[in-house]
């Protein structure tokens, strides 16, 4: 090797080392923490990372160093590839890594991140938990978060012995907020009860509350939060209960937090439409922008309803033949009516459970179409209408409870598009039963 090549190689190595060191130093810093619990278990908070490119902190240091070099240089020099994480597009998540001297019974711990105002959230569901054993046989795992109290100077990291909380609290670490402070001020929400409309449908948000889940009993962990929304609904200027606030499709705040109401707990109470969710409420210190999907459950026009008469309950000796009707430009298919299963002897009259599977070609990437059982009556005259369902938008199975001697059902089915309404409102906080458990 001539002198010029040696000098060039040395300068390149120095430059690459400097780049990797600079890349490591610019990461948010925090004090690594460790605690020994009363049962002897040792928990250690090892790494907090933020960004679209994160590294397994349990890789060897030389591998982590190489992973911070530009991808083209790594490929050209044929350096070993560091373990980077496959993160989704959108707002870069925060990655939190810990070790434990005990392997959790559920395979992973429950982790919640929040502030002193109890604005807690949990990990995102579309990034798998990184976990395994370190060389010295410690359990390690990494979980990822996108809903964060970004304006708070300090965060609380609460650890539970399983992902489902249920009062199995282990320890709380406190760390400085590793993110740059938000530059945008909170949005202004002058109307505490905003009204939104879509076509002839109008809804007014009468309640936006975050607090302990309903039915929580004595369980009142500050990290266990649920958002509750309530609406009055009008159609054509008249009050209506034909529409449900089906789903909170998106929630945003001015700091960059984004979430959704990934929980279809909705219905009507005393002429008020409600929807509850626990995935994950944003911090309550500033207004939320909400996109709420409303779904029609009644009041359909005649040409929006397909009727199927004497749909036979399937049996082993008579395989079900699908039945098809058309609604406007769409088809609706009763794909199957399953054999009736287990008896519910406590019902009056006693009932059996079966699944009504409906299909439709009414799909649209810009709008969700909903299949609805308008009315179902079994062969004994028992009204068994239900919209308890599973499946996808175009293929849904509805759970019906028919009389034990029923042989068929008559069913009316509707398929209609939902409507999205947007609201800007300041959430309020329900008073916890025990603010400092």
The per-residue DSSP string of 278-290 comes to: -SPPPPTTS-EEE
> Does residue 119 contact residue 136 with C-beta atoms inside 8 Å?
no
Residue appearing with tokens 């939104």: 196
Average pLDDT for 226-250:
95
Q: Which helix (H) or strand (E) holds 175?
A: strand 169-176
Which CATH fold topology does 21-176 show? Immunoglobulin-like (2.60.40)
pLDDT at 79 (0 to 100)? 62
Tokens of 77: 């020099």
Residue ranges, CATH 2.60.40, the chain: 21-176, 195-299+420-429, 302-416
215 vs 184, residue with greater confidence = 184
- State the pLDDT confidence band at 328, using cuts at 50, 70 and 90: confident
93 vs 215, residue with greater confidence = 93
Q: How far apart are CA 55 and CA 368, in angstroms?
A: 38
> Does residue 215 contact residue 229 with C-beta atoms inside 8 Å?
no
Going through 255-388 in order, the beta strands assigned E by DSSP cover 258-259, 265-269, 272-277, 288-296, 305-312, 323-327, 330-337, 341-344, 351-360, 369-378
Q: What is the CATH number of domain 195-299+420-429?
A: 2.60.40
Helix (H, G, I), strand (E, B) or coil at 72: helix
CA 243 to each of CA 201, 229, 250, 360, 394: distance values in angstroms, whole numbers, following the listed order: 9, 15, 19, 21, 20
Q: Which residues of 326-342 are buried (b: 16+ CB within 10 A; e: fewer)?
A: ebeebebbbebbbebee
Average pLDDT for 238-267:
91
Bond preceding residue 349 cis, omega within 30 of 0? yes
> Does residue 219 contact residue 249 with C-beta atoms inside 8 Å?
no
pLDDT at 400 (0 to 100)? 93
pLDDT of 406 > 60? The answer is: yes
- State the pLDDT confidence band at 383, using cuts at 50, 70 and 90: very high
Share of the chain above pLDDT 70, in %: 80
> Does residue 114 contact residue 108 with C-beta atoms inside 8 Å?
no
The CATH class that applies to domain 302-416 reads: mainly beta
pLDDT of 3 > 70? The answer is: no
pLDDT of 348 > 50? The answer is: yes
Strands ordered across the beta sheet of 369-378 = 305-312, 408-417, 369-378
Share of the chain above pLDDT 90, in %: 48
Average pLDDT for 72-100:
70
pLDDT of 22 > 50? The answer is: no
pLDDT at 26 (0 to 100)? 46
Going through 37-136 in order, the beta strands assigned E by DSSP cover 42-50, 94-100, 110-114, 130-133
Q: How far apart are CA 305 and CA 412, in angstroms?
A: 6
């Amino acid at each position: 090797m001539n002198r010029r090549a040696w000098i060039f190689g040395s300068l390149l190595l120095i430059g690459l080392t400097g780049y990797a060191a600079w890349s490591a130093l610019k990461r948010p810093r925090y004090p690594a923490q460790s605690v020994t619990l009363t049962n002897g278990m040792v928990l250690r908070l090892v790494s907090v990372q933020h960004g679209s490119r994160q590294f397994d902190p349990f890789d060897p240091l030389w591998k982590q160093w190489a992973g911070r070099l530009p991808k083209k240089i790594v490929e050209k020099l044929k350096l070993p590839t560091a373990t980077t994480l496959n993160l989704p597009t959108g707002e870069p998540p925060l990655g939190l890594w810990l070790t434990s001297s005990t392997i959790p019974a559920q395979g992973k711990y429950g982790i919640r991140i929040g502030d002193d105002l109890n604005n807690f959230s949990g990990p995102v569901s579309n990034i798998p938990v990184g976990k395994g054993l370190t060389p010295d046989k410690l359990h390690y795992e990494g979980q990822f978060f996108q809903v964060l109290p970004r304006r708070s100077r300090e965060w609380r990291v609460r650890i539970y012995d399983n992902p489902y909380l249920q009062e199995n609290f282990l320890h709380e670490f406190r760390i400085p907020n590793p993110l740059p402070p938000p530059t945008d001020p909170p949005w202004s929400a002058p109307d505490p009860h905003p009204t939104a409309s879509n076509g002839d449908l109008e809804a007014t948000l009468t309640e936006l509350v975050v607090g302990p889940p309903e039915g929580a009993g004595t369980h009142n962990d500050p990290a266990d939060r649920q958002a509750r929304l309530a609406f009055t609904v009008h159609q054509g200027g008249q009050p209506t209960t034909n529409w449900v606030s089906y789903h909170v499709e998106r929630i945003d705040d001015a700091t960059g937090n984004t979430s959704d109401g990934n929980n279809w707990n909705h219905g009507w109470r005393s002429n008020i439409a409600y929807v509850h969710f626990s995935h994950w409420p944003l911090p309550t210190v500033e207004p939320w922008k909400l996109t709420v999907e409303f779904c029609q459950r009644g009041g359909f026009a005649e040409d929006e309803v397909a009727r199927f008469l004497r749909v036979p309950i399937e049996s082993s000796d008579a395989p079900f033949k699908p039945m098809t009707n058309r609604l406007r430009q769409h088809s609706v298919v009763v794909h199957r009516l399953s054999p009736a299963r287990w008896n519910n002897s406590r019902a009056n009259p006693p009932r059996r459970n079966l699944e009504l599977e409906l299909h439709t070609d009414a799909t649209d990437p810009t709008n969700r179409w909903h299949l609805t059982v308008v009315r179902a009556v079994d062969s004994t005259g028992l009204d068994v209408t239900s919209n308890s369902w599973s499946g996808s938008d175009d293929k849904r199975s509805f759970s019906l409870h028919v009389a034990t001697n029923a042989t068929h059902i008559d069913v009316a089915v509707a398929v209609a598009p939902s409507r999205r309404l947007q609201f800007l409102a300041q959430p309020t906080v329900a008073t916890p039963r025990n603010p400092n458990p």
